[in-house]
Amino acid sequence: MASLRRTSGLDVWLGLGIVYVVWGSTYLAIAIAVETLPPLLYSGVRFTIAGLILAAWLAFRRADLRISRRELGGAAAVGILMLAGGNGLVSIAERTVPSGVAALIVASIPLWLVVYRTIAGERVPRDLLAGVLLGLVGVAILVVPGGLNGTIDPVGALLLFGATLSWALGTFLSPRLSTPRNALVSTAYQMLAGGVVLMVVALPKGEFAHIDPATFSTRSLIAFTYLVVFGSLVAYSAYTWLLQNTTVSLVSTYAFVNPVVAVALGALILGELITLTIVLGAAVIVVAVAFIIFRQNAARRADRIAPVAEAAD
């Protein structure tokens, strides 16, 4: 039994390492991909290819890909919100916003989850709402000075806010919707739904009409391949596996590890500046997100302990 626990623990930390490093690096890969690739079309093709590969692998492993209409609707809703709305808007925004700043703004997702809980009528402690306000101050420190001095595109920043709201809503609704029980089957349908929607939206945007493969750079194509294989197939699958095999609190720590990886890679490879404002804003956001995650974990532990204490009485 001890051996099994050790193996399970190694698997969990391997999965976390993948999500920490690979998802942190995807911001850099997206920035390179959109240098020459149309953002919505490339994103749609990325998730469609990844979804088809995953579905083919599952079929080869004889997994049951048949799902109900309700499960299909739930998986499609999550995929559209998180991948089409979330990732698609990030891809557009990173044409004008540095990858490190984009990652820091997206790191505020746990803050918006608290807001959605409040809107849904759930009881949310005041200290969590205070944490949300602190996180928004951090985002403002990042965005407002950059917008005023022209270093951050305000439209790109707004797109990132939209992406964050969309991803957070998909995360919030995911456990509340009927989705396939098999996490990888659900992931395949999510990626297919998100990919198809992105390609449909790319059509009226004119990305199909103006596509010119001769303008695609080699490094953009390499980044695209990296995003399909590692960003979608490896990291997204690891994320869904972790949600089924460990606590949400441990998985959610990616929210304040990814930005650190993204900022470091953006500075090292793309030469993005790390200013005092970025460091200050990042510190405030990370502290706020860490506070919210650890405060929620403490509340969950108290809820689990309370029934046991009552039974003992």
What is the rounded distance in angstroms from the CA atom of residue 272 to the CA atom of residue 167? 25
Residue 2 is predicted with a pLDDT of 39
Q: Are 140 and 280 in contact (CB under 8 A)?
A: no
Q: Per-residue pLDDT for 311 more than 70?
A: no
Residue 7 is predicted with a pLDDT of 37
Could you tell me the pLDDT band of residue 301, with boundaries at 50, 70 and 90?
Answer: low
Residue 203 is predicted with a pLDDT of 93
Could you tell me the pLDDT band of residue 304, with boundaries at 50, 70 and 90?
Answer: low
Look at residues 53, 10, 92 and name the one whose alpha carbon lies nearest to residue 234.
53
Q: What is the DSSP track for the chain? A: -HHHHHHHHHHHHHHHHHHHHHHHHHHHHHHHHTTTS-HHHHHHHHHHHHHHHHHHHHHHTT------HHHHHHHHHHHIIIIIIIIHHHHHHTTTS-HHHHHHHHTTHHHHHHHHHHHTT----HHHHHHHHHHHHHHHHHHHHHHHHTSS-HHHHHHHHHHHHHHHHHHHHGGGS---SSHHHHHHHHHHHHHHHHHHHHTTTTTTTT--GGG--HHHHHHHHHIIIIIIIIIIHHHHHHHHHS-HHHHGGGGGTHHHHHHHHHHHHS-----HHHHHHHHHHHHHHHHHHHHHHHHHHHHHHHHHHHHH-
Structure confidence by residue, pLDDT tens digits, 172-231:
898 889 999 888 999 999 999 999 999 999 999 899 888 899 999 999 999 999 999 999
Higher-confidence residue of 35 and 303: namely 35
Look at residues 106, 83, 91, 102 and name the one whose alpha carbon lies nearest to residue 34.
91
Residue 3 is predicted with a pLDDT of 38
Residue 308 is predicted with a pLDDT of 46
Q: What is the DSSP track for 252-273? A: GGGGGTHHHHHHHHHHHHS---
Residue 242 is predicted with a pLDDT of 81
Could you tell me the pLDDT band of residue 84, with boundaries at 50, 70 and 90?
Answer: very high
Look at residues 180, 190, 162, 7 and name the one whose alpha carbon lies nearest to residue 88.
162
Residue 6 is predicted with a pLDDT of 42
Residue 166 is predicted with a pLDDT of 96
How much is the pTM? 0.84
Residue 35 phi, psi dihedral angles, 5° rounding: -60, -40
Residue 306 is predicted with a pLDDT of 54
Least confident of 51-60, 137-146, 259-268: 137-146
Task: Tally Cβ neighbours within 10 Å of residue 47.
Answer: 30
Q: Look over the chain and give the mean of its residue pLDDT values, rounded to a whole number.
A: 86
Q: Per-residue pLDDT for 131 more than 90?
A: no
